Amino acid sequence: MSPRALGRTASEELAHQTFGLIERARNVRARERAFDGSAERLRKFLGEEAPHDIGHLLRLIFTEVRLTNQSRDELSHEPRHRRATSRRQGSGPRFFETHAVRGLSLVNSVRLALMAIWHDSFPLELVKQHSQNTLISQLGIEFIEAGDDYLKAKMPVDARTHQPAHVLHGGASVALAETLASWAATFVVDREKNYCVGLEINANHVRAVGSGWVIGTARPVHLGRSTQIWEVRIVDESQRLVSIARVTMAVLETASRYGNPPG
């Protein structure tokens, strides 16, 4: 049964149980068994919906938990007179809390992968309609797929998106990334209560493309009450990385303007 069929609560409970198994492991061998068992359990649960990087995400969490446990164990075995020094040097409880926060952020990433992120559903046809007569349509951007935890669009590499060297303009890639993040953010929240606007974007351009299409996929890194962070990977038609961008969205407490008539 898929996460969508079980619902958000069941998916969150499975994630909680999975990470609990890893966290309770007391030695390296037990942690390895917990990691392998948890990864397999998640793959069976998700089936074809399993994200390709679920094993990588679990490995990162495993590493964070190991570092957290090590710092906790080291602190518990220190003589009392050295604990105050450790705290001042940042290797005491604050160090433990820092790793716990990093671990929780990774847990959140996997939880997002386990469930549909949309407030209701993602209306792909509506988005296509309301993107007409905007920069989106001028660049030839086409929305092609909305999954449980991602939004995908493609953009032509031609005279509309070229730079003078006749390869894809980096600004066009950034426009594609912000377009995906903005539309995706819009339908994660309740549009009658929240309006998501771009706050910051940064991008790294990895490969030049002279023709054909590039495909962008936006996935959430963080979905908070006041901000959202989205990662957008842009690849060519051979699935080679072209650009990678991170977009921060501000969530305003006002009705969304996306999809409304101009004026």
Q: Which residues are catalytic?
A: 178
Task: Give the type of residue at 118.
Answer: W
Q: Which helix (H) or strand (E) holds 23?
A: helix 8-24
Nearest one of 116, 129, 242 to 176, comparing CA atoms: 242
Length of the chain equals 263
Helix pair angle (54-77, 28-46), 10° resolution: 150
234 contacts: CB under 8 Å, gap ≥ 6: 173, 176, 177, 214, 215, 216, 241, 242, 243, 244, 245
Work out whether strand 213-223 and strand 195-205 pair parallel, antiparallel, or are unpaired. unpaired
Task: Give me the residues paired with residue 154 across strands.
Answer: 142, 215
Contact of 181 with 230, CB cutoff 8 Å: yes
Q: Is 34 exposed, middle or buried (0-12, 13-18, 19+ CB in 10 A)?
A: buried
37 contacts: CB under 8 Å, gap ≥ 6: 21
Tokens 């939880």 found at: 111
